[in-house]
Amino acid sequence: MTDERYWKGIRRFNEKEFFEAHEILEDLWHEYRETDRTYLQALIQISAGMYHADAGNFKGAKSQLAKGVEKLSQYPASHQGVDVRLLLRDLSMCLTTIDHCERGRAQISPNSFFPTIKLTTKHTQESETHHGNNDH
């Protein structure tokens, strides 16, 4: 993926700025016409789900995350520089934790269950190349 917005959206997600990640990726999605458009939609829904989780809206979080996971599951273990397999595993654990929070059996602890999007080795350098200082 060569569009700077893709990498910026991933960085925002990993910085736990989920609303901003959602907005950036959605902006890209509106123009994106490649065959893996559903992949971007999955990342958008996952970002929205994490935004809801962070706000304590567990029902909304589970709904958006489930939709995103369903779409993301259609892609190979590594796609567009993202370790999809690891992200799916982390999202599964996140959904379990959200379920426990919703039932009052756990407290929200962002550091313990908010996933990050890990890049595959060959794409880490590309992401760093696109990482400018005027992101904010």
pLDDT at 69 over 70: yes
**How would CATH label the architecture of 4-129?**
Orthogonal Bundle (1.10)
pLDDT at 109 over 80: no
At position 95, the amino acid (one-letter code) is: L
> Which position has the higher pLDDT, 47 or 105?
47
Closest CA to 38 of 9, 69, 60: 69
pLDDT of 13 reads 96
Give bridge partners of residue 78 from the DSSP assignment: 83
pLDDT at 125 over 50: no
pLDDT of 118 reads 94
**What is the pTM for the complete model shown?**
0.85
Buried b (16+ CB within 10 A) or exposed e, 13-24: beeebbebbbbb
Q: What is the mean pLDDT of residues 47-55?
A: 94
pLDDT of 136 reads 45
Return the H-helix or E-strand segment holding 83.
strand 82-83
pLDDT band at 56 (very low <50, low <70, confident <90, very high): confident
Q: How many residues does the chain have?
A: 136
Angle between helices 4-14 and 121-130 (to 10 degrees): 100
pLDDT of 127 reads 47
Distances (CA, A) of 82 to 42, 56, 77, 96, 103: 13, 27, 8, 22, 32
